Amino acid sequence: MINIKQVLLVFLALGVLSACSTSVQYGDATAQETVNTDFGSTDLQMIANKMVDDLLVFPPIVQMTQQRRPVLFVDRIKNKTTEHIDLESVTDSIQTKLINSGKFRFVDMTAVEQVRKQFDYQHQSGMVDEQTAARMGRQIGAEYMLYGNMASIVKRDNKTKDVYYKFTLKLTHLESGIVEWAGEKEIRKTKDRRWFGL
Amino acid sequence: MKYFSLLWLSLAVLIAGCSAGASGTLQPEKDNYEAKVEYHSVQIRSKLSLVDMRQRKVGDLLQVSVDLKNERQKTIEFQYQFRFYDKDGFEVGTEGRPWAPLVIVGKDTQTVQATAPNPSAVQFKIAVRD
């Protein structure tokens, strides 16, 4: 005869087991992410797309890239928000899209030290055939610089948290100092605290 | 005099024909609008309609613009994603174009636009979901 104590124990054990179960799933990397109001993957992708779309259709840029592929370098994006955001990943996405558009070329300032080491190896180690070694002093100088900043305004009360992000990107001609193009993307995210789904 | 009139008339017809060809070739036909939208649910299909679309070449890149109308009285929230295809139907630039959120108030129309990731893109679609 099963008594009520045993039934309760079985239910308790099942409850503990189901609470402990975990699962891992792959998801769509482009899906909208709204876990919280912090800067997320959807924000990053929206910013990169907006910047690239705007830059590629700006008439002077269209004219400039019709016959040649100007060389750019990416300076850092200033983070003026209160969050820790990896803004290099935003500029990496922008850089990748611009290269793949076939309109621009880039020099990678983050790889300068590695390139120098490779040059030293090719020219000073005695291990590399001189005829095949990359020649020094023949790198191409960047014509334009991409840089910008990211700002945010956060407001909250007992029920609501409102976050406003503004990302600004500029393309400056190095020789003349003229800003040839500037783009902006604004994002607003609001989080409401609800009780019992009301 | 008669010859001059004929010459002017031919010239006018020629100019009109050229301008219509230059501006008309890229625009999608109205009947073809539904083929450009991929509704991911019956619910979103009943709430949203594509009322107009335009496309043009900027340099050698395809730029598209789509007018979406909220058919309901209430505000709707949904997501959209542009997809570009080359002449053989292969998707171009598959990585990193997000499902972008959009809010349209009741009975309002909003325009969304996108630029193709590279010159090989000649076709596009817009996908919408709740």
Spacing of C-alpha A197 from chain mean position: 34
Whole-structure pTM over 0.90, yes or no?
Answer: no
Other CB atoms within 10 Å distance of the CB of residue B106: 11
Residue B29 has what pLDDT?
66
Is-contact B100 B122, C-beta < 8 A?
no
Q: What is the DSSP letter of A142?
A: P
Residue B15 has what pLDDT?
44
> How large is the ipTM?
0.76
The architecture that CATH gives domain B26-129 is: Sandwich (2.60)
CA dihedral angle for residue B106, residue B111, residue B116, residue B119, rounded to 10 degrees: 150
CATH tag, A37-107+142-192: 3.40.50.10610
Q: Residue A108: phi, psi to the nearest 5?
A: -100, 105
Cα–Cα distance for residue pair A136/A130, rounded to 1 Å: 12
Cross-chain Cβ contact B93/A48 below 8 Å: no
Is-contact B105 B73, C-beta < 8 A?
no
pLDDT at A36 over 80: yes
- What is the tens place of the pLDDT at every residue in B4-13? 555 554 544 4
**Tokens encoding B73:** 């009285």
- What is the tens place of the pLDDT at every residue in B14-33? 444 433 333 334 566 666 77
Cross-chain Cβ contact B97/A41 below 8 Å: no
State how far residue A185 is from chain B, nearest Cα, in angstroms: 13
Cβ-in-10-Å burial (0-12, 13-18, 19+) of A117 comes to exposed
Per domain, the residue ranges of chain A are 37-107+142-192
pLDDT, averaged across chain B: 81
State how far residue A28 is from chain B, nearest Cα, in angstroms: 10
Cross-chain Cβ contact A56/B58 below 8 Å: yes
The residue assigned the tokens 């259709």 is A57
Cα–Cα distance for residue pair A185/A92, rounded to 1 Å: 17
Per domain, the residue ranges of chain B are 26-129
pLDDT at A163 over 90: yes
Q: Which of B58, B93, B115 sits opposite A100 (nearest CB)?
A: B93
Per-residue b or e along B49-77, where b marks 16 or more CB atoms closer than 10 Å to that residue's CB = bbeebebeeebebbbbebebbbeeeeebe
Cα–Cα distance for residue pair A149/A77, rounded to 1 Å: 5
pLDDT-derived band at A197 (thresholds 50, 70, 90) equals: low
Residue A134 has what pLDDT?
94
